[in-house]
Structure 1
Amino acid sequence: MKKTANLLLMFTMLIVLILSGCSKEDGSTEQGINEKDSTAETVTMFLAESWPSSIVDPSWTDPIAKEITKRTGITVKVTTLKSDNADAELNMMMAADELTDIVVAYDDRKTRLISGGFVRDLDELIEQYGPNIKRNLGPFFDNWREDDGKMYALGNWNWNAPTKYALNLQINTLHMRYDILKELGYDKLDRNGEGNSFITVDEYTRLLDQVKSRYPDLEPALIEGEDAYKTMIMSTGIQSRHNTVFENGKGYYLYNNPYTEKAIAFLNKLYTGGYIPKGFASFKQEENESLISNGKVFSTLGNVPGLSNSQAALSESNDERRMVMFYLIDNPNVKSIFANGYWGIGGPSIMVSKKSEKVEAVMKLFDYLATEEGSLLLNAGVEGVTYNRVDGKNVPTDEVAKGYAAWDTNVIKKYGVGGWFNIFPSLAGVDKEGNANDINAQKVFEDDKWVVYNNMDWKRFSYTQIVSGVGDLKKENNPEAFEAFVRINGYAKDRMVKAIVAPDGQTSKKEWAKAVQQMESDGLAELNKALEENWIKLAKALNKDPEKLNQVEADK
C-alpha cells in the first residue's frame, strides 16, 4: 500500500509539473511573460532629460509598460535623473563608460553623445532589424539626420494628419486677449478667411495703440526679451533655431543677422512708448503668471515664462477671457514662418549606445512600437483599462481623458498614457481609417473649440520642422568658431536686452553697436562662416538645394 501510495504521489507531481509548464497559444506561460519569474529579455534605458524623467514611472509597471513586455518579450529597466544637473549625470556615465543600452537626450547632450562616438549610426541597424521603422517612419528620416548625413537618433512621434488631430500648438509668436479683440471689433477675430491667423507688425502696433487708449489699466504687451526678439526675427519668414538663422542658403548667428537692428529698434520703441512694463527684464515666472492670470495684460509677444500656466486661471469665469494665438509677420508678403512651439515631427532624441550588447532586442522593441498596433498601444494604452471600444471607435476612459487634457502627471504616470509616446518612436497621427492613435489628443481637439481656433492656417503657412545647421559646430572640428560661439553666447542676450531698455532709439543703436563690436572681436566672422559651411554640408548630405532645404507648401 505504501509503495502504491508513493507511486500515486509521484504520478500526481509529474502531472502537476507538466501542466504548470504548458504554454498558451501565444507562447507565454499562464502567468504571462511580464511576471518576475519570466524569461523576458531586459534592456536598459537612461532618460538624460528632466521632461521625460518627470512623466513616466521608471518601475515599468504601468499598464502600457506591462503590455509592451507581454507582446514583445522585452522589459525595460529605466533610469531617470536623480538631480537637477543632467549634464553632470550624463558626463559621469560617459566618463565611466557605463551608458545604458538606450539613451534619451536633447540638444547639447545629444550632440555630445554623437560627437563623442557614444551612440550608433542607426541606418544599418534599421536595414537589418527595422522594417517597420523604415516603412512607417522613413519619410521623416531626413529631418532626423545630423550634418554628416547620418541618423543617430529617432524622433519619438509624428503626425501624419496634423490638421485633424494636433493638440499642443504653442506658437512662439503672438498671444492676444480674445475678449478685448472682440470689444475692439477686430476684423480677423473669427478667422473666416485664409491667412486670418496672420497679423502684420503694423496691425499689431495699431491694436496696441487702441488698447493703451481704451484700457489704461492694462499692460499692452508683456515680453521676456530674448523670446520677443526671436519672434520679431521669425516674423520676417526666415528660419531660426538653436542660435542660428538661415536665409537663401546663408548662415548667420542669431544675434547678428540682417534683421537684428530692426527687431531691437521695434522692441525699444515699444519699451520707451510705455507698451511694455518697465521691470520686465527682471520679472520672475510668478510675476508673469500673476499679471496674466489676473487679466492685467492684453498680449504677450513670444512665449513668456508662465504663459501656459496662467491660461486656465484667466478664463476660469469667462471662456472668452483668454489669450488666443496669431502668427506675427513683418509684412503682408511673408508667406511662411516657423512656429517654434509646434512640431509635426518629434525631435530626434532616442539613441542606441555603442557599447550595448542587446542591439537586436532594442531594435525589436523600436520596430514593434513603429507598427500601427504598437503605436496604438503606446498612444491609447490598453483596451478595457485606458480606453474602450464604443460603436467601433476607441474612446478613452473619463479619468485618462481628463488627466491627459489637464496634463495631470499622476494620471500620466499611473497609466503610461502620454508618457511613453514622448520617448519611444511611434505613429501618433491617424490610422488607415482616419482614427487618431492618440485618442486623448483627438478628444481634446474635438471637445475644445479653442484648440481648433489656434490651429488655423498653420499647416500651409508655417515651418513644422527645421533642420539645425549648428549641430556640427564642435570644438574638435572647428575650434575657432566653437570658442567664438561659447564666448559670444555668454553675453549676447544680456547686451540685446540692454539695447531694448535704452531710454531712446539713438542710445539703443549705440548700445547695440558696442555689442556688435565686442562680438566681432570675439570671432563673429569665424562663427558665421562655420554656420554657413554647416548648412551647405547638411544640404549636400541630404542631396538638396541649400536654398530650398526647408520648403513648405506655400513656397512651392
Structure 2
Amino acid sequence: MRTKKWLQTGLAVVMASALLIVGCSNGNNAGGKNSESGGENSEVSTEPVTFTYFGFGANKDTMASDTTIGKKLQEQTGVDWKMEYVVGDGSTKSGVMIAGGDYPDVISPVGELAKLLDAGAYIPLNDLIEKYGPNIKRVYGDYMNKITNEDGNIYILPFTANVNGYLSPPDPSSTFWMQRRVLKEFGYPEVKTLDQYFDLIEKYQAKYPKVDGKDTIGFATFAGTAGEFFTITNQPMHLAGYPNEGGVLVDMESHEAKLYQGTEDEKRWLAKLNEMNGKGLVDPETFTANKDQYLAKLTSGRVLGYVNYSWQINDATNNLRSAGNDDLRYVALPIVFDEGIKDAYVDPPSFVNNRGLGISVSAKDPVRIIKYFDNLLTDENQKLVEWGIEGETYTKNAEGRMVMNEEQLTNRNDNDFKRKFGFAYFDYEWPRYGDNSVYDDGNAHVPFNQPEVAAINYTEGDKTLLKAYNLKTFSDFYAEPVERPWYPAWSIEKEPGSPEQLFSQRAGDLQQKYYPRMVLAAPGQFEKVWNEYLAEYNKLDAKSYEEFMTNKVKARVEGKW
C-alpha cells in the first residue's frame, strides 16, 4: 500500500510566496485552514440569491439546494445554484454560447476552455482573489504560476491543487478492464500483455457464447462521440508503457515529445482490434452506440473486456457493485504490448491547469461568487463535499481517523444516493483540494484514498481476487509511478486557430474517419486502409507540432507553466 507523500517544491513556491505576501495581513488570517473570506468587505452576505452553473461534463441537471451538500452551503452563504450540464456535443454547445454572447454565471469548460477563453467568456479573477480569497490563496498558492495565463490573469480555479503533499491511492486503475468471471474460469492467470488479454477473452467467449440468453460481447469500448474518441486513440500510449500524456510520448531524459499517431505502436493496436473483430470479439456498435447504450451493455454483464478510464464509467461500475454479483464486475489490469515493458498507469504527482471553474462575463455578482468559492475551500467544507456529515455518512474512530461502516459505504457507492446527497455534484467540478491531498490531522481528503475505508470497501469477491494474486490492494497490480515534472502534457493548451490547434483537429479528424474503417475492415484489408490513413496523416506538419510540445514540456520542467 502506498502512503508516500510527494511535496510540491521549486519555482512555483517561490513565485507564489512573492505574489501572495500582499493582502495576507490586516488580521484576515489568510493562511488559516478555516479562515473566513477576508480582505476588503469581508462581511459575507447571506441574502438569498440563485446563480447559474454550467458544466461540460456528464451529469443530471439539478438545483444545488435539492441536495444535502448544496443546502448546507446555501445555509452558510445564502447562495443556491441552478446546475445544468451539456447534452450532446460540447463543441456545439460552446459555439452556441459564444455566438449568443450570453453565458451562465460560472462555467466548468472541460475541453472547451481554450475556445471560451479566446472568445473572452471569462473574467480575470486576480483582484477578486486578492480582496476576497484567503482560502483560495492558501490552496492555490504553490500553483499560482501554473494557473496564471501569459497575459498575467487567472481565469479558472483548477480541481487538482494538492494540499499537504501527495497521497497515492490504494486502488488506481488502468484503462483495460476484464470481467472477473473470465479470470476465475481459468484459475486467475497472469494477464500482462495485449495478446494474453485477448487470448483469455477469446477462450471464454468460445466456451460461453451467451449469457442469460444473449450473445456475449468479447470486447467493447466507447468511441461513439468526438468528445470521447480519445478512449480508443489513447491506448497505444498506455500499451507502450507511458502514462496519459494525450497525443505524445515524452522521453524521461531528453524531454522530447514524440507523437505516437502514425507509428508502429498505433498500427499494432489497431491491427489487433481488426484481428479480434475478424473473430467476432469486438462490439459491432463500438463506433455508433451512444453513451447510455454503452453503459447499459457494461451493466448487463454481457461484456467480457473493455477499455475506458474509470471516471468515464462510474455509473456502470457503481450499478454493478450494487447488484451484488462480483463475478460480473470488472478488474482493471496493467496491460502492455510486451512482457518487458513497465506499465505506467498510476499517475505521478500532477497538476492539471486547463480543467477548472471560472466566472463568466455575464455573471451578476462576481464578488458574491468568489466568496462562495472561498468558503468552499475551508477544511470543514472540503470534508463536507468529500466525506459528508459526521455521524451520518462517516464516523471517527478512537484515533481520530475518518472511517465508514458497510451501510455508509454502500450509500457512497450508490449513484442515486450520491446525487441526492450531492457528492455527485460537489466532489469534483468546483474549486477543491486535489484528490491526493491530506488534512493536517493525517486523514485523506478522498475517502477511498483512506486505507481504512479502502479495506472495508472490499467485497468478498474483491478479497478472493486479491488473495488469488497474492496482493494486498489493487494498486499492487501496478508499477510505482515515476515523477514527471511536466505531467500531464495533454493539459498544454493550444491557442484556437494556431498551427498546433489546427494540427490536433485535423489529425483527430483523420482518426475518427479511419479508425472505424481499420478496425472493422474485412480480413486482409487492414494494411490497405492503414496505408491510406498514413498517407493522409503524413500530409500534416507533425514535426512542428512535436517541436511545440517539446518546448512546452521543457518549459514546464524549468517551472514555466
Determine if the TM-score, normalized by the shorter chain, exceeds 0.5.
yes
Code of the residue aligned with 2:456 in structure 1: it is D
* 1:338, distance to aligned residue in structure 2 (A): 4.3
Query: Partner residue of 2:200?
Result: 207
Of 115, 135, 139, the residue aligned with 2:138 is 135
Query: Partner residue of 2:306?
Result: 300
Could you say if the C-alpha distance between residues 236 and 83 of structure 1 is closer, same or farther in structure 2, counting changes exceeding 3 Å?
closer
Contact 1:237 1:335 in 2 (8 A): yes
Could you say if the C-alpha distance between residues 413 and 216 of structure 1 is closer, same or farther in structure 2, counting changes exceeding 3 Å?
closer
CA shift digits 1:290-344 (9 cap, x unpaired): 765555443224469979627755994642343211011123443343469x999
Could you say if the C-alpha distance between residues 487 and 157 of structure 1 is closer, same or farther in structure 2, counting changes exceeding 3 Å?
closer
Report the Cα distance in structure 2 between the residues aligned to 1:246 and 1:91, rounded to whole angstroms.
31
Q: Secondary structure at the match of 1:107?
A: helix
Code of the residue aligned with 1:543 in structure 2: it is E
Q: CA RMSD in A?
A: 4.6
Query: Partner residue of 2:273?
Result: 267
Could you say if the C-alpha distance between residues 454 and 143 of structure 1 is closer, same or farther in structure 2, counting changes exceeding 3 Å?
farther
Code of the residue aligned with 1:271 in structure 2: it is N
* 1:351, distance to aligned residue in structure 2 (A): 1.1
Query: Partner residue of 2:109?
Result: 105
Q: Is 1:334 equivalent to 2:338 in the alignment?
A: no
Q: Is 1:448 equivalent to 2:457 in the alignment?
A: yes
Q: Secondary structure at the match of 2:476?
A: coil
Of 435, 444, 461, the residue aligned with 2:481 is 461
Code of the residue aligned with 2:425 in structure 1: it is G
Report the Cα distance in structure 2 between the residues aligned to 1:222 and 1:232, rounded to whole angstroms.
16
Code of the residue aligned with 1:434 in structure 2: it is G
Code of the residue aligned with 2:426 in structure 1: it is W
Code of the residue aligned with 2:457 in structure 1: it is D
Report the Cα distance in structure 2 between the residues aligned to 1:387 and 1:50, rounded to whole angstroms.
27
* 1:375, distance to aligned residue in structure 2 (A): 1.2
Could you say if the C-alpha distance between residues 84 and 494 of structure 1 is closer, same or farther in structure 2, counting changes exceeding 3 Å?
closer
Q: Is 1:493 equivalent to 2:481 in the alignment?
A: no
Contact 1:162 1:344 in 2 (8 A): no
Mapping of 1:156-555 within 5 angstroms?
A: 156=159, 162-163=167-168, 169=172, 171-172=174-175, 174-188=176-190, 199-208=192-201, 210-211=203-204, 215=208, 220-224=218-222, 227-240=231-244, 244-248=247-251, 249-251=255-257, 255-257=261-263, 259-276=265-282, 281-282=287-288, 295-302=301-308, 309=316, 312=319, 316=323, 318-338=325-345, 348-353=355-360, 358-383=365-390, 401-408=409-416, 411-427=417-433, 429-439=437-447, 445-449=454-458, 450=462, 453-457=473-477, 460-461=480-481, 466-468=488-490, 471-475=493-497, 477-478=498-499, 482-505=501-524, 507-521=525-539, 524-525=540-541, 528-530=543-545, 532-537=547-552, 539-540=554-555, 543-544=558-559
When the two structures are aligned, how many residues end up with a matched partner?
485
Select between 278-287 and 365-374 the one with higher mean Cα deviation: 278-287
* 1:236, distance to aligned residue in structure 2 (A): 0.5
Mapping of 1:1-16 within 5 angstroms?
A: none
Code of the residue aligned with 2:547 in structure 1: it is E
Code of the residue aligned with 2:414 in structure 1: it is A
Report the Cα distance in structure 2 between the residues aligned to 1:257 and 1:92, rounded to whole angstroms.
37
Code of the residue aligned with 1:245 in structure 2: it is V
Report the Cα distance in structure 2 between the residues aligned to 1:436 and 1:279, rounded to whole angstroms.
40
Select between 456-465 and 132-141 the one with higher mean Cα deviation: 456-465
Could you say if the C-alpha distance between residues 421 and 144 of structure 1 is closer, same or farther in structure 2, counting changes exceeding 3 Å?
farther
Contact 1:46 1:102 in 2 (8 A): yes
* 1:155, distance to aligned residue in structure 2 (A): 2.4
Report the Cα distance in structure 2 between the residues aligned to 1:373 and 1:298, rounded to whole angstroms.
42
Contact 1:47 1:103 in 2 (8 A): yes
Larger radius of gyration: 1
* 1:355, distance to aligned residue in structure 2 (A): 6.4
Contact 1:235 1:337 in 2 (8 A): no
Q: Secondary structure at the match of 1:325?
A: strand
Contact 2:240 2:336 in 1 (8 A): yes
Query: Partner residue of 1:80?
Result: 84
Q: Secondary structure at the match of 1:300?
A: strand
* 1:51, distance to aligned residue in structure 2 (A): 2.9
Code of the residue aligned with 2:359 in structure 1: it is V
Contact 1:43 1:358 in 2 (8 A): no
Q: Secondary structure at the match of 2:518?
A: helix
Could you say if the C-alpha distance between residues 57 and 343 of structure 1 is closer, same or farther in structure 2, counting changes exceeding 3 Å?
farther
Contact 1:120 1:354 in 2 (8 A): yes
Code of the residue aligned with 2:196 in structure 1: it is E
Contact 2:61 2:84 in 1 (8 A): no
CA shift digits 1:444-487 (9 cap, x unpaired): 63433249854435582388962326622421x43xx5445444
Select between 418-427 and 217-226 the one with higher mean Cα deviation: 217-226
Code of the residue aligned with 2:386 in structure 1: it is N
Code of the residue aligned with 1:371 in structure 2: it is T
Contact 1:405 1:440 in 2 (8 A): no
Query: Partner residue of 1:68?
Result: 73
Q: Secondary structure at the match of 1:330?
A: coil
Q: Secondary structure at the match of 2:241?
A: coil
Contact 2:156 2:357 in 1 (8 A): yes
Contact 2:108 2:355 in 1 (8 A): no
Report the Cα distance in structure 2 between the residues aligned to 1:398 and 1:181, rounded to whole angstroms.
27
Q: Secondary structure at the match of 1:264?
A: helix
Report the Cα distance in structure 2 between the residues aligned to 1:65 and 1:275, rounded to whole angstroms.
45
Could you say if the C-alpha distance between residues 61 and 310 of structure 1 is closer, same or farther in structure 2, counting changes exceeding 3 Å?
closer
Could you say if the C-alpha distance between residues 459 and 133 of structure 1 is closer, same or farther in structure 2, counting changes exceeding 3 Å?
farther
